[in-house]
Structure 1
Amino acid sequence: MGETKQVLHNWKFKACEEKEWMAAVVPGCVHTDLLRNGVIQDPFYATNEHDLQWIDKVDWEYESTFDVEEDLLGSSRLELVFDGLDTYADVYVNGSHVLSADNMFRSWKADVLHVVKAKGNTLSVRFRSPVREDLPKIEKLGYNLPASNDQSELGGLGEQKISIFARKAPYHYGWDWGPRFVTSGIWREARLEGWSGCKITDVHIQQNQVTAAAASLTASIEIEAEHAWSGKLKLSTDGLSWEQQVTLETGNNVILLPLIITDPKLWWSRGLGEAHLYTFKAELLQEESIVASRTVRTGLRSIRLVRDKDAKGATFYFELNGVAVFAKGANHIPNDSFITDVTDERYRHEIVTAVESNMNMLRVWGGGIYEQSVFYELCDEYGILVWQDFMFACSMYPGDEAFLNNVRLEAEENVKRLRNHPSIVLWCGNNEIDSAWAQYDEEGGWGWKKNYTAEQRAVIWQDYEKVFHRILPDAVEALAPGTDYWPSSPLISLSGDIKQHAHPLSSEGDIHYWGVWHAVEPFENYNIKVGRFMSEYGFQSFPEYDTVMTFAQEQDLALDSKVMRAHQKNGDGNRLIKEYMDIYMSEPKDFPSFLYMSQVLQAEAMKMAIEAHRRNMPYCMGTLYWQMNDCWPVASWAGMDYYGKWKAMQFYAKRSFADTMISFDRTDDGQVQVHVVTDLLAPLSGDLQVTLYHFSGERLKQALLPIAIEGNSAAVVFALNEQEWLGEHEAGSVMLHAVLEQEGKLLDSKEFYFVNVKEQKLAKSAIRITELEGSGGTRFKLEADVLAKQVWITAEHEGMFSDNFFDLIPGVAKIVEFRLRETGEPQSKPVHAGNVQARSMIDFLAESKIEIS
């Protein structure tokens, strides 16, 4: 009786037509194995991506030899299990074909009891080229389906968009921030599983009703039995246990066990309370000896997406344990083009970055993968809510029976795999397809429809509805009842008419606002185009100089160099950064300065957007910027680069996402308003001080007043007349500084400038850095003699400052701490910084206009 596992190691690989084998690592992929063996150069360096497009047109074979461990040999059942095969694979054990795979997002199993022997087994996995596999499908279909981000030309395929046929990570085919590496390989664990008697295959803690007083649950326990069996089923957690006698039939059994937990410890998102987790253990007992067992971890909470009609349209917010949560966060993409290179520590760095940036939500975007378990476990532990897309993005998909069935099985498996995670609060059908196709608006969308006949359009839309209005919601309803499903992001509502498709001024549903950036609208439009839930918006920047130098050389440091263009996947990206910089910023003196200025520009844009969204609560109840992270070193919308380094924007986001925040706003009638926003549930009172400073540090005017606002709200607490406060002073030489304190403790502070950076009269500032006594080189005080804008501190040693890219006002000191996030450490800890340097924007500006392109 019992269950045993044996992970399979000792792998080698080769191109099918070659004779020579090379060492392989599983989990892994062909690209990383070729790199490890010195066959290819670093795929991310310079323009190497362009030279590696041959890899996806070759068939590859992986082979392992193994002996079956003794305790497995005696099992009644023995299965070969692959948690992930990417993508078209045929599997052979000792020459016998045991399974064929055609979906990266599903696991694959085969009964191998009668195929294996005790010693000297050979396992072979042959991967068919995804390009050669799928090209014939276009001819069969008769036309290309839209797939805007599929970089088919780079892959040597011209206009032939094949990504839509493969149930494989869409971003592998290229995106407007990512390279085209169409991988093949064993990307999750491969193992043997043996068992006899009974095996608990799944435990789902269904949350029927959860309140602070009681949690009414149903444990759904799936058991596979080799033969009829009677005994006791026991479920336990946190000192509580439930038992019942069970009689199992041969095959699959589902036992439902009702549970009540009184006074449960609830699971809360970051900022609202503890993210408490319960571990439930299910055991089958025969006369008190354990026959089979399985544990799962979950958090007890009530969650719903609230879409109630109101005077302005309809709400769109998440209610957690009865509390309306303002969602603060970003869109998550895979952390690497080669997923198996992402260590647990890299996942932890991302989630802790979200926590330290005062976020409470990440959206797992639909062009990547259903993430590795560790991602969701960390979100559970840290109280980060997850908006989970199914893996469909910016494309129309085929609707043949085989494809639809594959999608149905994929959806069922992934909903089932992830449903115990309390962090997952929404399943969303796809990214941007409803608004891109715009079925009910002849002039709307991305112009896709015009490429098809009326008959083709009807078929394409019917196929869309089969997947996103039937198969996917059915899977969620059946397997994760109580979890909300949203058909497409963005969407107004599933109305079946022109009112369905989202637009930047929708007063219902969620919005992706890209007028700033793609349409070159001014940053100020972030203040105007505010919806009920802003699930995407963004602005690009370059990573810092050290990151750029991991893929470039000095001679490549020009915007239009071949290398810099290869690391800018949004066609107009470099031009757009430069165009916006010319509008809002002063001229940088050289290319490294341009990199710094691009980050400052991005940070200022995102600050304006985030704070506009938060000031507008409860009308707007969510702000998720694009994007959290990068999958390679590149110019992109990310706030944190490929190596985990925070850009200026990440420090800005941390400040603008603060649980209690001050925000300035300027009205059309010449008023400057001070808003206070708090996500904390208790009423807030404190003392507000607003000071007009000259850039020299002279205090020109000041207001002091007590303020009070409700918990979980936003309010204007002070307004001043701009002309009265400016008086005779030049708008480009003065600033406002607001400070909010509660019983002497600083809650927040914020600056306001009357004109853009370009028009500000900045002078060279001397920044004094003083190491705080007794800190061991970890804490520093910074002071400036005149206003120092966008102070960027760098350290000799590895690590990160607690704040960066901030303004220093003369007479207002800033204290920062230097920290290092060590492997396995949940949070970063103070560490010696070594030599510390600080530069401000003036150090990066050109004295005369120069060409940086």
Structure 2
Amino acid sequence: MNMKVKMKFYIVLLNLLLLFTAVDAQPVLQYLHEGWSFRQAWGTNWYGATVPGTVHTDLMDNKLIDDPFYRLNERGVQWVDKEDWIYRTTFDVAPELLAKRNIVLHFEGLDTYADVTLNGKKVLAADNMFREWQADVRSLLKEHGNELQVYLHSPIKVAMPKWEAVPFQYRSSNDQSENGGLLNRKVGVFVRKAGYHFGWDWGPRLVTSGIWRPVALEAWDEVRIDDVFYNQKSVTANQAVIDVTVEVLSDKETEASVSVINRTDSRTECRKLIRLNKGMNKIPVSFTMKKPRLWWTNGLGEPFLYDFATTLELDGKQIDITEDKLGIRSLKVVTAPDEHGESFYFELNGKPLFAKGANYIPCDNFLTRVTDSIYEKTVQDAVSANMNMLRIWGGGVYEKDIFYDLCDKYGILVWQDFMFACSVFPAEGELLENIRKEAIDNVRRLRNHSCIALWCGNNECLDAWFNWNWKNTYDKQNPAYSDIIWKQFKDQYFVTLPAVVEEYHPGACYRKSSPYSDDKGTRNHTVGDMHYWEVWQGLKPLSEFKHERSRFFSEYGFQSFPEFESIKRYAPLQEDWNLTSEVMMAHQRGGATANKRINDFLLSEYRQPKDFRSFTYMSQLLQADAMKIAMEAHRRDMPYCMGSLVWQHNDCWPVASWSSRDYYGRWKAQHYFTVKSFADLLVSPIEDGNVLQVYIVSDRLKPTSGELKVCALRLDGGGIVKEFTRRVTVPANTSTVVWRETVDKLLDGANKEDVVIHVSYKDKTGKEYTNNYFLAKQKDMHYVTARINKDFVAVEGGYDVTLSCDVFARGVFLSLKGDIDNFISDNYMDILPGKPVTVRVTTDLPGLQFAERLQVTSFLDAVEL
């Protein structure tokens, strides 16, 4: 072997040695997700279990209970939450892990009361679904045959003595204790777990237990990185100043080196030599980025993410590394006095942002069934509907990391509630400390996400106290009780939670509640955010959505049924297909009158559907029209109003609800309408007395110009009654009236009931925005029978379907009988006379079956004539 070859050999050998030495120094992770079994605590039979998972899903997998979502099966599984359950597994430990000096057993989530033993010794007791739990287990582990057991206590049995010990009841408006066989014992407020598990007005009562998030052994030697926080102190287009806090856990006093590496730009932003003390060390480092690429929300620009890595070196060797994706942005919540009251809006990178979005609830009652692909579709559907914000509502969960990763990736801001909703809580002593630690865990976990827009103390708890007659009820019962609850309330939302945000996410906005105008729960339409329910709950006409004003609508909504093909999945029997059937009432949690309310609105605004299938279609069209009215009104009122978050984005089980996407992910009519209502440009006609005004609302950051057309079209295909065309300039980021004319001139003698007002705006790029406006209620419109022609051609992944009609066809709905695994690019659309519309249907059906199953429905097809 010559000298040159020898030298190359030794260099390769040295590199391999260094590589293996570096790898050996790194922390080691071993997930413990295999080999689990479970049983009832008093039983003897063990069954296979899935971890992460829940008791209910394991019972289903073993065919010990039927699917609770099917027909009336929810009623038959209420015994599950009153039992204790035991989970166990055995595992071996990899030698390289066992050789480490520190080994921790880490549960990312235990639901909810759990005693954990390892090799016969208790290592931890959990009492909060939202916290992470760790235990030092180095001394207990062996190489082979370790036994891990999790004893899950019934949340009902743990909470019941706490409920009984209080001389008054804590109000919890949506706890369905009666459905759970507990009479009026609303024990959910004593348990730190997802509130909706105890039932809600859109969800079942299914109180879960389980190892619901990953469990692993984490091992390391002398030091490791515990956490890294990127605090964006100052961000402009010219520079970003980032303060980084690196938390390092060390077994001893030693010297080390910390580096923050910008992998996107292949640059080390900062490197610092440090002296570590034994225990936790907080190491501050800072750097400045020149002309950073900024992160923008959906519709405003690219949600650009930088790849950062933080490394820890000891004696010249890399000991640990963490990786983060970071969107560089300036984000503020602006609340400043103005001529109306006080502003409330988000400012992104120095630009006022109109928040367009929805309220998000968990995608399933059994959270471990929510796959990454479901999260992807859920967030993508928000993006496709031109949303830029989702509000994670306080009765669910702090979501998995992937949800926030996707929101970062696609430019969706997150309004993050803490997990408290529509209740008062005994927040003192151990429970308040438990809440504090819960908040710390989740604020630390989520604070680096660019999508986090604000932290909110709770959903409607303040409003409930002052405006739902709760305070008055307690005052009459015993003023001392009222004083106790109000002190607990203030300690929780006015002291504890804001202190956590201030300490662990400095610079982030904290709101005490939603809605919120002041500490007295005042419903002030000129200050703060509003939850507007006067139409659905207050039975006001749909037209009220046009007139209601707020600085920010953080909730409003209207119910509908899922599509009929979706209904057949959970209610397949014909006897179920009527409004008052036991199954339909069980899958309607908005109260005994909710289905009747939908029907009453239909009769008031629309017409009588001819059968149940038609009712489901009409309910969706009604919901879509109602929310279209609201969304357009909110946007027209810009900049007085700067936010419109509809209730709600999704469902947790198959149900009639306020969602715009059903449990199976199918878009309702409302979601299709939202695409246009939340577009970057909205062309919106509205009557003001006898004058029709056309607004163009722009979210664009630059002005635009184009051609506006306004025309009155005869419904019977008889042509144009009157048409106006003009060039208009649309200012940036605001709402502007660009055209007005008297209704009489526009109608030119025609009846309101015989025409539709069609408006369109085409910008200089050729992109067209359209809208239709009706001058009379839908039930009074003189629609004529629409014979819709349909043609289709096969394309990759499905078919392009072209629809045309000689008359105006209202609310044209395409569906595929017996198949819900499809997607239609546009639906519930209006077809103008002589103007074909082409939509893409994504489906695996072969051509002949597609032709047989394709159904087309319009307004008159669904009503009694």
The residue type paired with residue 554 of structure 2 is S
Amino acid at match of 2:134: K
CA shift in 2, pair 1:820/1:427, >3 Å: farther
1:214-259 residue CA offsets vs partner (Å, 9 max, x unmatched): 1101111011112222132111012121211111111111111011
Distance 2:215 2:832 in 1: 58
- Asked whether the equivalents of residues 777 and 834 of structure 1 are also in contact (C-alpha less than 8 Å), the reply is no
Residue type matched to 2:535 in 1? Answer: V
CA contact under 8 A between 2:104 and 2:138: conserved in structure 1? yes
Paired residues of 1:82 and 1:108 also in contact (CA < 8 A): yes
Aligned pairs (5 A) from 1:22-171:
22-171=47-196
Residue 361 of structure 2: aligned partner: 333
Partner of 1:815: 838
Tell me the residue number matched to 2:782.
Answer: 761
- Partner in structure 2 of residue 291 of structure 1: 319
Do the aligned partners of 1:2 and 1:197 also contact (CA within 8 Å) in 2? no
Separation of aligned partners in 1, 2:700 and 2:207: 45
The answer to whether the 8 Å contact 1:103/1:406 transfers is yes
Q: Is the 8 A contact 1:799 1:833 kept in 2?
A: no
Q: Which residue of 2 aligns with 1:825?
A: none
SS of residue in 1 equivalent to 2:540: coil
8 Å CA contact 1:778, 1:833 repeated in 2: no
Distance 1:422 1:814 in 2: 39
User: Are positions 1:843 and 2:864 aligned together?
Assistant: no
Cα distance change on mapping 1:186 and 1:774 into 2, 3 Å: closer
1:778 shift after superposition: 3.4
* Structure 1 residue aligned with 2:609: 588
| Aligned twin of 1:551 | 570
Name the residue aligned to 1:17.
42
Mean Cα deviation higher: 11-20 or 689-698: 689-698
Is 98-107 or 66-75 further displaced after alignment? 66-75
TM-score by length of 2: 0.94
Equivalent AA in structure 1 for residue 720 of structure 2: R
SS in 2 for 1:378: helix
Q: Does 1:607 align with 2:628?
A: yes
Residue 804 of structure 1 corresponds to: 827
The answer to whether the 8 Å contact 1:502/1:511 transfers is: no
> Does the C-alpha gap of structure 1 residues 183 and 634 become closer, same or farther in structure 2, counting only changes over 3 Å?
same
Take 1:201 and 1:382, find their aligned partners in 2: how far apart are those partners? Answer: 28
Deviations 1:463-512 (A, max 9, x none): 00000001100000000001000000001134xxxxx4242x61110000
Cα separation, partners in 2 of 1:17 and 1:775, compared to 1, 3 Å: closer
Q: Is the 2:692–2:741 contact (alpha carbons within 8 Å) kept by the matching residues of 1?
A: yes
The corresponding residue for 1:477 is 502
* Contact residue 203 and residue 295 of structure 1 kept, 8 A: no
Give 3-state SS (helix, strand or coil) of 1:234's partner.
strand
Query: Is 1:272 equivalent to 2:293 in the alignment?
Result: no
Compute the displacement of 1:14 (Å): 0.4
3-state SS of paired residue (1:313): coil
* 1:468–1:773 Cα change, 3 Å: closer
Q: Which residue of 2 aligns with 1:523?
A: 542
* Corresponding residue of 1:396: 424
Report what 1:641 is aligned to: 662
1:444 shift after superposition: 5.7
Q: Does 1:5 align with 2:29?
A: yes
- Contact 1:777/1:833 (8 A) holds in 2: no
Q: Say if 1:269 and 1:385, in contact at 8 Å, map to a contact too.
A: yes
The AA in structure 2 aligned to 1:693 is L
Equivalent residue for 2:203?
178
- Check conservation: 1:660, 1:747, Cα contact below 8 A: no
Deviates more, 1:403-412 or 1:240-249: 240-249
What is the CA distance between 1:586 and its match in structure 2?
1.0
Distance 1:360 1:128, change over 3 A: same
Give, in whole Å, the separation in 2 of the partners of 1:770 and 1:545.
24
- Measured after TM superposition, the shift of residue 744 of structure 1 is 6.8
Pick aligned residue for 1:219 from 233, 236, 244: 244
SS of match in other structure, 1:662: strand
Equivalent residues, number:
828
Deviation at 1:728? 2.8
> What amino acid is the match of 1:717?
V
Give, in whole Å, the separation in 2 of the partners of 1:832 and 1:263: 57
1:282 paired to 2:310: yes
Question: What residue number does 1:779 align with?
Answer: 800
In 2: Cα distance, 1:416 partner to 1:463 partner? 24
Task: State which drifts further: 274-283 or 590-599.
Answer: 274-283
Name the SS of the counterpart of 1:105 in structure 2.
Answer: coil
- Counterparts of 1:289 and 1:100, CA distance in 2: 37
Q: Look up the SS of the partner of 2:760 in the other structure.
A: strand
**Paired residue type of 2:750:** H
CA drift of 1:769 comes to 2.3
Paired residue type of 1:547: S
Match of 1:770 among 773, 791, 804: 791
Q: In 2, distance between residues paired with 1:585 and 1:374? A: 42
Segments of 5+ residues of structure 2 without an aligned counterpart are: 1-24
Question: In 2, Cα distance between the equivalents of 1:716 and 1:775?
Answer: 43
- 657, 661, 681: which one aligns with 2:678: 657
Mapped to 2, the partners of 1:833 and 1:482 lie a distance apart of 58
- Contact 2:798–2:843 (8 Å) recurs in 1: no
1:675 match? 695
Answer whether contact 1:435 1:445 (CA < 8 A) is retained.
no
Matches within 5 A, 1:303-702: 303-438=331-466, 448-449=473-474, 452-494=477-519, 500-503=520-523, 506-552=525-571, 553-571=573-591, 572-667=593-688, 669-697=689-717, 698-702=719-723
Q: Does the aligned pair in 2 maintain the 1:65–1:123 contact within 8 Å?
A: yes
Change beyond 3 A, Cα 1:777–1:79: closer
Give, as a single letter, the amino acid of the residue that structure 2 aligns with 1:222: E
C-alpha contact (below 8 Å) 1:818/1:832 kept by paired residues: no
Q: Which amino acid is the alignment partner of residue 275 of structure 1?
A: P
Whole-angstrom CA distance in 2 between matches of 1:163 and 1:832? 53
Deviations 1:641-675, CA, capped at 9 Å, x for gaps: 000000011001111111101111111x2111111
Q: Does the 8 A contact of 1:331 with 1:628 survive in 2?
A: yes
Matched, 1:255 2:283: yes
Q: Matched residue of 1:517: which SS?
A: coil
Kept in 1, the 8 Å contact 2:364–2:653? The answer is: yes
AA aligned to 2:433 is N
Stretches of structure 1 lacking an aligned partner (at least 5 in a row): 495-499, 822-830, 848-853
The whole-number CA distance in structure 1 between the counterparts of 2:480 and 2:30 is 53
- Aligned-pair identity (%): 42
CA distance in 2, matches of 1:266, 1:832: 50
Counterpart amino acid of 1:206? Answer: N
SS at the partner of 2:188? coil
Q: Give the letter for the 1:339 counterpart.
A: L
Instruction: Give CA deviations for 1:702-753 in whole Å, capped at 9, x if unaligned.
Output: 0001111211011111112112322332221111111111237233011111
**Alpha-carbon distance change, 774 to 299 in structure 1, aligned in 2, over 3 angstroms:** closer
> Does the residue aligned with 2:169 lie in a helix, a strand or coil?
coil
Letter in 2 for 1:840: S
- One-letter amino acid matched to 2:432: L
* Contact kept? 2:707, 2:726, Cα under 8 Å: yes
Residues 777 and 50 of structure 1: CA distance in aligned 2, closer, same or farther (over 3 Å): closer
Letter in structure 2 aligned against 1:558 = N
* 1:751 lines up with 2:776 in the alignment: no
**Structure-2 separation of matches of 1:248 and 1:775:** 60
Q: How far apart, in 1, do the equivalents of 2:569 and 2:800 lie?
A: 30
What secondary structure sits across from 1:293 in the alignment?
strand
CA distance in 2, matches of 1:327, 1:601: 24
Amino acid of the structure 1 residue aligned with 2:304: H
